Chain A
């Protein structure tokens, strides 16, 4: 392999535990300096994949390249990676300084250089006052900073994060999220970040790989994943509150009319993947709650309808309203400043351009 701008390349990677296929024929290319987030529900194989890249799990088939070198059979320490864990995994009997320098001592780095690198990492993470303390004397946020520092001192090209913020409370999580993003902008090295939190994924990632059942469902920028999910699973997984799905059927001959629960939605302006809808085929129509307009704006949308408000959930900046549209549960977001009462009749509308349509059988985007 020649040196390229590819930082990590995974070819046909499979991992089986007995008959159980945990990862299946996975291919992934990560460019230098990219921030890739592996996102999925628990048990989808995202952490497993990260452990395979780190060399902590032996794979069943395939190859892993880091910086153009085949590391498939290499020990974790020889792969040029640093790793940060969910439980921080600090060595409890060592001071912060000991934690940071442990790997360097094992690698036989000269003492003067160890001190220098530890000092540099401590400065970046602002943990200098903590160097002499034991992990048990640190708060959760400080511990995770030290854990990041431990990866930092290794001065490697690739950082692996395994749900690093999941053990922190919401406020700290938001703080450290920004800090990780800053760190990435500053160091500009490759980062692979495993999470089940879509906010972390959307805010941090250059690209997101959505995983399910050991396979990558979609690998793309947060923008594309949000606006053009390739299948119903991705569409439902990304976005909070989740996308509304309405089941129906295309009829109307030349015009792509989507019939659902006694309503006809004209999808003429929707960009079908293969140019047109298949007459008579069944499909899901997906509409994000935040893409729904209310009142005056609704009338200008390609589709609009009167509904009755059933449940109101004020969330501060927004208000989430639950209703029934075409005999199916439907929720939408509206301005939190506007007053809505239960039982009130509202006019809502949306634009098919911003919607998604999925085949009922394959659940793939149409």
Chain B
């Protein structure tokens, strides 16, 4: 073989060793995470007799949606047999106000902290960040007392209140950092143009910030939807969110363990965050990165 004179673009090898490594690791990782989901979906589509055969990896011989309907509509959570749908609507009722209120407050916090440096702003911010490092468990009992004194313990308002408070540190940090990345001169220009605190916020800053609002919404929706602890403590038995209902269905000790119903119920509960992941794409990664700052 004669050596060729190098000219033009360097020839690319289709499969160099680094690429093979990356892909093999990625494929193994993907299988590792997809296998449980596969088992869940397959099991949820089988009838109980087929499950008793014990081959959990086999696809269903006879596909049935009965477990899904049962999980949604008639599965028993303790005394009541109304399925997950009650929990779903409870979760929605908790989720929407919590997300809106916490983001509304946190965005104004972050804006004030980055543009209107009031006396003690740094101290306030430090305390807020410090708050996000305290384990939840430490604060539970005091919060129970506080909500009881406010008369909202064991109610929708109570759990919304708690979610708003616990969302504050990370969301404020998120918004503050975002607003801090916007040019100060823009703020100055708006002030010379006669816009006040709310004018600058609503007319200049908010229209520039859809990305960070999306990130905040993703962070809050997935966080609040997946919450179990606050729901079980603060919401009250009438308002248990979906996660708590799921636990009650799965852990019901009476009778036969209906694995197919349990699997269907779990997938249903995870559906909302899953949908968010798929729809939000790159914003979700940013949300994760923002969450990583929290530690």
Contact = CB atoms under 8 A, between A and B. Distances in A.
Interface in A48-75: 51, 54, 56, 75
A89 interface: yes
A103 B193 contact: yes
Contact of A56 (B191, B195, B203, B204): B191
Interface residues of B, number: 16
Interface in A14-31: none
Contact of B193 (A93, A106, A162): A106
B188 A51 contact: yes
Contacts of B189: 83, 85, 89-91, 147, 150
B186 A91 contact: yes
Given A87-B183, A89-B183, A93-B208, A106 B194 contact: yes
Interface in A269-324: none
Contacts of B207: 93
A107 interface: yes
Given A91-B204, A92-B208, A93-B208, A102 B193 contact: yes
Interface string A88-109: 0111110000000011001100
Contacts of B183: 87, 89
Contacts of B199: 106
B190 to A, nearest CB: 7
A195 to B, nearest CB: 16
Contacts of B186: 87, 89, 91
Interface in B165-221: 183, 185-186, 188-195, 199, 203-204, 207-208
Given A87-B183, A89-B183, A56 B188 contact: yes
A83 B204 CA distance: 17
A133 interface: no
B203 to A, nearest CB: 8
Interface in B110-165: none
Contacts of A208: none
Interface residues of A, number: 24
- Chain B CB count within 10 A is highest, among A85, A86, A90, A150, for A85
A107 B196 CA distance: 11
A106 B185 contact: no
A167 B53 CA distance: 74
B190 A87 contact: no
A82 interface: yes
A76 interface: yes
A81 B193 CA distance: 10
Given A76-B192, A77-B193, A83-B192, 20 more contacts: A54-B192, A56-B191, A56-B192, A75-B191, A75-B194, A77-B194, A83-B188, A86-B185, A89-B185, A89-B189, A91-B186, A92-B208, A93-B207, A93-B208, A103-B193, A103-B194, A106-B195, A106-B199, A147-B189, A162-B185
Interface of A: 51, 54, 56, 75-77, 81-83, 85-87, 89-93, 102-103, 106-107, 147, 150, 162
